[in-house]
Amino acid sequence: MAAAGEAVQEDPLPDEGSVEETSQRLSIARRVGELLGHMLGQVALEPASEARARRLQESLLNSDDWDELRDGLNGVAELVIAAVTRSQREFEAFLRRLDERLESLRQCFSEQAAAQAGRRNASEALDREIRDELQTFGEQVKSSADFDQLKASVGQHLESISGAVERFRTQESERERNLSQQLQLMHEKLAAVEAHSELVGEELAAERQKALRDVLTQLPNREAWQERLAFEYQRWQRYRHPLTVGVLDIDLFKRVNDSYGHKAGDRVLQLVAKALSERLRTTDFIARFGGEEFVILLPETPPEVAKSVLDGMREHIASLPFHFRGEPVSVTFSAGLAEFVSGDDEDEVFDRADKALYLAKDSGRDRVIISGSEPADG
């Protein structure tokens, strides 16, 4: 109890600065949780870890508590390290199996080389034996005066030559049989190596595609965007055909998250992503750049035509019947466009499109602005 004469101190009310700081911290916490949660979706996990990952992902996507996020980060790190370690182990095992099969094939080739050398030696031995028999027979013909003795000698030499030829044929037949078996074994091992290599290639391609796709919207992600942008930039440098970059941002998206929760925000992102991708041409490319921001590449398209395309998308999105908790919710986006011109690199064009986006935001939102043009009503 306060002593007499002492002023009773009351707890100070939080000033606007501290309230704003707390709000920013919560916003950052939610964003960190969202990023960590989505990170889990990019990793190929073992079946035994999937249930834990789902629980962790749900907790992170709905968390605004720093302690929970710290624990979640540790959990994500454990799962990611385990997944990377497993992938590394699997690849090392594949390399070991491949090395074993290649060693087996090398052994088969060595055996074939030895068999070839044996065949050559056997042929040379047969040739020597026949020559020796013929030489001995010739000497006996010269020295023999008895026809019966000569006749017997001829028969004996012919029998020796016939035996040598028969032994050679038997050995050759055995070698041919072994060769056929070894060739069949080699063919089977080669087929196994090819099949396994093809399977591993398909798995790596699938993992690669998964790594290039945003889990929430199923659109290409930022890494995929960088690859496609580099490709289109190279084409533009070669042919100098029009190439336009667009940066889109959902208007007042934070208000949706704050009013209806992150699940509602995620649903908006999914619906907008689907609507945008369905209205693009096959030559165009769209990706989720991060948060509520999307990026679009429009090859063979000058910015004026690109603006018409995006205005059509914008009007379509604005007309969609979004409802949350029984209430209609207006969803619009703003966009900035920039065209590649001589001397540009990828970053410069993106920066111009991004600045045009913020100009569209500052000009009232729900509009598309081309870099370098004056704001126009949407």
Residues with catalytic function = 292
Give the rounded distance of the alpha carbon of 266 from its chain centre. 24
Report the alpha-carbon distance of residue 355 to residue 337 in Å, rounded. Answer: 9
For residues 246 and 306, is the Cβ–Cβ distance under 8 A?
Answer: yes
Query: Residue 344: enclosing H or E segment and its boundaries?
Result: none
For residues 269 and 202, is the Cβ–Cβ distance under 8 A?
Answer: no
| Burial of 27: CB neighbours in 10 Å, binned 0-12, 13-18, 19+ | middle
User: φ, ψ for residue 324 (rounded to 5)?
Assistant: -135, 130
Bridge partners, residue 299, by sequence: 243
Report the alpha-carbon distance of residue 256 to residue 153 in Å, rounded. Answer: 113
Nearest to 299 by CA among 226, 211, 228: 228
Number of Cα atoms under 13 Å in the Cβ half of residue 125? 13
Report the alpha-carbon distance of residue 338 to residue 355 in Å, rounded. Answer: 9
Report the alpha-carbon distance of residue 196 to residue 11 in Å, rounded. Answer: 70
User: φ, ψ for residue 65 (rounded to 5)?
Assistant: -110, 130
Q: What's the chain's length in residues?
A: 378
Q: What residue has token string 């391609």?
A: 205
Q: What residue has token string 């729900």?
A: 366
Report the alpha-carbon distance of residue 202 to residue 54 in Å, rounded. Answer: 26
